[in-house]
Amino acid sequence: MNPTPWGPASGVGSLPGIDPAEAMRLVVGELPDFAHLPELPGRGAGADMIGRTAALLVDLAVDLTPAGWRLVPRSGVDQRRAREFLARDLDALHDVAERWTGPLKVQAAGPWTLAAGLERTRGDRAVVDPGARRDLAQSLAEGISAHVSAVAARVPGAQVVVQLDEPSVPAVLQGGLPTVSGFGKLPAVEATVVEQELGALIDAVTPPVVVHCCAPRAPLALFRAAGAAALSFDLGLVQDLDTVGSAVEAGTHLFPGVIPGTDTTLGTPKSTASRVQAWWRELGFPADGLTPAVTLTPACGLAGATPGYARASMAHVREAAKFLQPE
């Protein structure tokens, strides 16, 4: 078995719809070499990114308030609902993909995005409190490990890969997160602190970790320094070729997002492959190094897309990846 658990094409995570079994069948059918456990935020509170990740937390409780998710002393109905959604997803995974072999990706909000999306009891974001961040990260690491074990038990042939979604990190670094009141901005956090705390969680997770950020100014060098085995990003937003080239030279795998995550008119898979090849040539690497180094994906999750576009986008990246194969 290939010790590097990457396939030629995959998804980011979220899909439209509310039926986990249908979503799992779609992913396995359209992405036969690198499936992922779908996220279905259309089901409502508890299936969104923060709520779903809150379902993984160990010994920490959250609840949903009119202002958003908040850390609370005792678990309530909203966290229980999130855990029920996750349990149904795992049941669907077992029913549909029990005999799957090869790489299988699971996703969770990373520690900084989770802390940015949760309020403390006093009403400010957990991201401003080093103690709260530490507790969240430790709880999340334990929860992800248990989740990986649960997935592996249901799909024994899977090589599990963990994706940490960190869309909030650019705002954390730039001081761009709004306060709870919305009238101010939270202070920026030093890059070294962001790197160290993200790195501590990555170190605590056994499978390879992909860090995904499709926001502008994604700090790819920071993610790589924190220990990410792979970087997932919107190809159209990343202009720093030196950083990308350094990642390739260091053996970091790349997940370039090559088509939008919401409905648009797609070109041909061959044209997408040609664009990726031109980008690779601009990086300055030999053509035969492209296929082992990249996994094509949509730029972001597909929850905001129509079902038809979601299916077409997965088929598109799968077929585009075939054109990257050496002749």
Matching CATH number, 20-323, of 1.20.950.20, 3.20.20.210, 3.90.1150.10, 3.40.50.920: 3.20.20.210
Reduced to 3 states (helix: H, G, I; strand: E, B; else coil), residue 21 is helix
Residues 97 and 24 sit within 8 Å (Cβ to Cβ): yes
State percent of the chain over pLDDT 70.
98
Q: What are the start-end ranges of the E strands in the chain?
A: 35-36, 61-65, 68-72, 102-109, 158-165, 209-212, 230-234, 253-259, 297-298
CA distance 212 to 254: 10
Residue pointed to by tokens 């899909």? 15
Contacts of 16 (CB under 8 A, 6+ apart): 40, 42, 302, 303, 304, 305, 306, 307, 310
User: Mean pLDDT, to the nearest integer, of 289-309?
Assistant: 96
User: Quick check: 238 pLDDT over 80?
Assistant: yes
Nearest CA-CA partner of 53 in 44, 62, 65: 62
Residue pointed to by tokens 């979601």? 310
Q: What is the pLDDT of residues 35-61, one digit of tens each?
A: 999 999 999 999 999 999 999 999 999
User: Quick check: 3 pLDDT over 60?
Assistant: no
Widest CA span in the chain: 61
Pairing outcome for strands 209-212 and 230-234: parallel
| Mean pLDDT of the residues in the chain | 95
CA distance 64 to 152: 30
pTM attached to this predicted model: 0.96
Task: Count other C-beta atoms under 10 Å from residue 83's C-beta.
Answer: 18
pLDDT band at 181 (very low <50, low <70, confident <90, very high): confident
Contacts of 238 (CB under 8 A, 6+ apart): 218, 220, 244
Tokens of 177: 């997160």
User: Quick check: 2 pLDDT over 80?
Assistant: no
User: Mean pLDDT, to the nearest integer, of 183-192?
Assistant: 93
User: Mean pLDDT, to the nearest integer, of 278-295?
Assistant: 95
Nearest CA-CA partner of 201 in 172, 162, 168: 162
CA distance 68 to 79: 13
Q: What is the pLDDT of residues 137-179, one digit of tens each?
A: 999 999 999 999 999 999 999 999 999 999 999 999 999 998 8
Tokens of 178: 């709004």
User: Quick check: 115 pLDDT over 80?
Assistant: yes
Residues 104 and 89 sit within 8 Å (Cβ to Cβ): no
User: Quick check: 1 pLDDT over 60?
Assistant: no
Nearest CA-CA partner of 36 in 155, 185, 205, 123: 155
